[in-house]
Amino acid sequence: MAVEGHTLEFCLAEEADFEEVMSISGDVYGGIDYLPARYHAWIQDSVRRVILAKKKGQIVALVSVNIVDDGHTAVVEGLRVAPLERGKGIAGLIQGYSLNLVKDQFPEVKVRRYVRSGQLAPEILTKFRLICKQEILSVQFKAEDIRPKLEAAFTWLKESGKQWEDPVLLGASEAKRLFLSQRVVDEVLPGKAIIQDWVPYKPLESNLEKLVSQDFIWMADDKEEPTVLSLGTAPYRVPLGTGYHRLNIDIFGKQFPRARNQFLAQLQQRVSTLEGPIYCLLYFEPSIWQDMLSFCQTTLELHKDRDFGGQNLLEADM
Ligand SMILES: CC(C)(COP(=O)(O)OP(=O)(O)OC[C@H]1O[C@@H](n2cnc3c(N)ncnc32)[C@H](O)[C@@H]1OP(=O)(O)O)[C@@H](O)C(=O)NCCC(=O)NCCS
C-alpha cells in the first residue's frame, strides 16, 4: 500500500520494537498512555495481534486487535500514528490491514468493537452501532494526600446518614456468579457489557474466567441482589511524570450513593498500598455525572483534570 508515494509495509510487533513504538507515542492520551505497561504482555498473547505499519523501515503506526467473547468479537485497541504522519490516511490503512488479517486467522469473528472517547461525529453512527456510553471523571492526587480525605469522607458519610453501606469485596467465584447473572446483565451492565479499563467484554464464562484471574478488585453493593458493581484495575505506571500511577475504576449501575460508595471503597483499597502521584479515571453511568462531580469537588477536594467527553462503546459487523 502506498501513502504519498511511499510504500507502507505491515508486520507483527516484536519485543525489539518497543522503544521505537514508544518514540511515536509521546503525545498519546496526554501522558496517561497504557501501552508502555501492556506492550510486552500484548505481543505474547495468542489471541491478540499487534500490528505495525512501517515506511522506509521506520515504524509509523500501531494498532492491536484482541479476540474476545468466545472468539466472536475483535476489539480494536491502541491505535496510534506517528505525529508527523497523521492526516494521510494511515490509521484507516493499518486498521483495514489488521481486520483482514483477523478475518483470515480468526474466521469465527463476527463483529468488531471499539471504545472511543469524545463526542461522536454523526458519520461515525452511520458506520457503527452505539452500544452504550459511560462518563469519565479524571482526577489527580497524591496517595498520601488522599488517604486522610478518604477517612474524613467515610466518617462524615457514616455519621450524616447519607446512605452509607459498606460495599462488599467479591471473590473470584462471587464475581463470576454476579457478573453472569441475568438480572445484572439486563439491569446493571451498560449495554450488557463489562468494560474493564476501555476493554469491552460480553458477560460470558470464558471472559470472566480470564478477568478474575487478574489482579482486579471486584465489588458490589450486595452479594445477592446487587444494583451497583465495580471493577478496579491494578494501577500501572504511565509516562506523565516520575512515579505516576494510573488507576482505573469502572462502575456499573445507576444509583449515585451506591456508586459513590464503590468509588470510595475501591480507592481506599488501592491507595493503602501506593505512594506518590496518581492519575485516577473513574467511569460511570452518565445520569449520575453531576452528583459524582460535586461529591469529588466538595468532599474530596478533587477537581476534574480534563474533559474526555465520555466513553463510547461502538460495534460494527466484520
Ligand atoms: C487518531 C489517529 C490514530 C488518526 O490517525 P490518522 O492517520 O491521522 O487518521 P486517518 O488519516 O487515517 O483518518 C482517519 C481514519 O482513522 C480512523 N480513526 C480516527 N480516529 C480513530 C479512533 N480514535 N479510533 C479508531 N479509528 C479512528 C477513522 O475512522 C478513519 O478511518 P477510515 O479512513 O477507515 O474512515 C491519530 O491522530 C493519532 O495517533 N492520535 C493519537 C492517538 C489516539 O488518539 N488514538 C486514538 C484512540 S485509540
Residue range 205-251, pLDDT digits in tens: 999 999 999 999 999 999 999 999 999 999 999 999 999 999 999 99
Fold of 2-109: Aminopeptidase (3.40.630)
Q: Give tens-digit pLDDT for 122-138.
A: 999 999 999 999 999 99
Q: What pLDDT does residue 2 have?
A: 66
Q: Say how far apart CA 217 and CA 232 lie, in whole Å.
A: 5
Mean pLDDT computed over 177-200: 98
- CATH class of residue range 133-312: alpha beta
Assess whether the C-beta atom of 75 lies below 6 angstroms from ligand 1.
no
Residue 178 β-bridge partners: none
The residue to which cell 481486520 is assigned = 99
Q: Quick check: 75 and 196 in contact, CB under 8 A?
A: no
Q: Residue 117's pLDDT band (boundaries 50, 70, 90)?
A: very high
Q: What pLDDT does residue 1 have?
A: 66
Q: At residue 6, does pLDDT exceed 80?
A: no
Q: Give tens-digit pLDDT for 241-298.
A: 999 999 999 999 999 999 999 999 999 999 999 999 999 999 999 999 999 999 999 9
Q: Say how far apart CA 131 and CA 109 lie, in whole Å.
A: 18
98 C-alpha to center of ligand 1: Å? 14
Mean pLDDT computed over 114-126: 96
Report the atom number in ligand 1 closest to the C-alpha of 27: 41
92 C-alpha to center of ligand 1: Å? 7
Q: Which helix (H) or strand (E) holds 194?
A: strand 194-196
Lowest mean pLDDT among 48-52, 129-133, 149-153, 159-163: 159-163
Q: What pLDDT does residue 290 have?
A: 97
Chain-wide mean pLDDT for the chain? 96
Assess whether the C-beta atom of 80 lies below 6 angstroms from ligand 1.
yes
Segments of the chain assigned to CATH 3.40.630.30:
2-109
Q: Quick check: 61 and 97 in contact, CB under 8 A?
A: no
